């Protein structure tokens, strides 16, 4: 794990596009996915995200995943955590999450997950997150339901 650099921006963009298309194809209309990606994951937008948030990358020889987080008031908001679809199941997401936890050891972590996300929901459950409030968000012009998942500071399952 390491902090992302400007040289990582094209790869982060590639991973985000591939992960979004693979993860949300059955949950969000394809046009909404493409509108969201065209706005949220341009190289310029990723550069802004890198300036304002913690952006970590993971991978052995090349960047295969990233996590974006930001401290908000009394907790860490996990803005994004994605790996290249063919790299899933290799522990990169867990390692990225552990790095976020290590950087913020005394704060709760929140992650907003699309309801019905068959990859995201089990990932968070297996790492000790508990479901919280339901939210309505707009993604690419489509209203969606998200569940906020919480990993509470001091939970026996969230130690680095």
The pLDDT value recorded for residue 151 is 95
The pLDDT value recorded for residue 155 is 60
- 77 occurs within a structural domain: yes
Task: Give the integer Cα–Cα distance in Å for 30 and 86.
Answer: 20
Rounded to two decimals, what is the model's pTM?
0.90
Q: Which two tokens stand for residue 157?
A: 């399952």
The pLDDT value recorded for residue 128 is 93
| Strand, coil or helix: 104 | coil
The pLDDT value recorded for residue 87 is 82
Task: Tell me which residue range forms the domain holding 81.
Answer: 2-151
- 159 occurs within a structural domain: no
Residue 57's domain is classified under what CATH number? 3.40.630.30
Task: Give the integer Cα–Cα distance in Å for 57 and 153.
Answer: 23
Burial annotation 50-59 (CB, 10 A radius, 16+ → b, else e): beebbbbbbb
- 156 occurs within a structural domain: no
- 117 occurs within a structural domain: yes
The pLDDT value recorded for residue 160 is 40
Tens of pLDDT along the chain (160 residues)? 899 999 999 999 999 999 999 999 999 999 999 999 999 999 999 999 999 999 999 976 789 999 999 999 899 999 999 998 888 888 899 999 999 999 998 999 999 999 999 989 999 999 999 999 999 999 888 899 999 999 998 665 544 4
- 160 occurs within a structural domain: no
Q: How many domains does the chain have?
A: 1
Give me the residue label for tokens 């890198």: 50
The pLDDT value recorded for residue 73 is 86
The pLDDT value recorded for residue 24 is 93
The pLDDT value recorded for residue 89 is 83
Task: Give the integer Cα–Cα distance in Å for 5 and 56.
Answer: 9
- 116 occurs within a structural domain: yes
- 157 occurs within a structural domain: no
- 85 occurs within a structural domain: yes
């Amino acid at each position: 794990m390491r902090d992302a650099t400007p040289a990582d921006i094209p790869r982060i963009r590639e991973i985000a596009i591939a992960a979004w298309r693979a993860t949300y194809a059955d949950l969000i209309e394809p046009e909404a996915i493409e509108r969201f990606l065209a706005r949220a994951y341009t190289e310029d937008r990723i550069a802004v995200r890198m300036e304002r948030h913690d952006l970590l990358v993971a991978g052995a020889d090349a960047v295969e995943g990233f996590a974006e987080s930001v401290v908000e008031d009394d907790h860490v908001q996990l803005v994004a955590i994605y790996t290249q679809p063919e790299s899933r199941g290799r522990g990169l997401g867990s390692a990225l999450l552990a790095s976020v936890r290590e950087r913020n050891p005394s704060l709760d972590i929140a992650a907003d997950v699309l309801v019905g996300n068959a990859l995201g929901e089990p990932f968070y459950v297996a790492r000790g997150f508990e479901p919280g409030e339901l939210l309505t968000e707009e993604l690419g012009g489509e209203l969606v339901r998200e569940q906020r998942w919480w990993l509470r500071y001091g939970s026996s399952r969230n130690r680095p």
